[in-house]
Amino acid sequence: MDSGFNFFMFGGILSVLFTIAGFVIWIAGLIDCLKRDFDKTSDKIIWLVVILLLNALGSIIYYFLVVKAEQKKSKPVEHQEKGLKEDS
Q: Range with the lowest mean pLDDT among 9-13, 32-36, 78-82?
A: 78-82
Cβ atoms of 59 and 24 within 8 Å: the answer is: no
Give dist(CA 25, CA 61) in Å, integer: 11
Helix, strand, coil distribution of the chain in percent, nearest 5: 70, 0, 30
Average pLDDT over residues 22-44: 94
What is the predicted pLDDT for the residue at 82? 54
**pTM exceeding 0.95:** no
Reported as a pLDDT band with limits 50, 70 and 90, residue 81 is: low
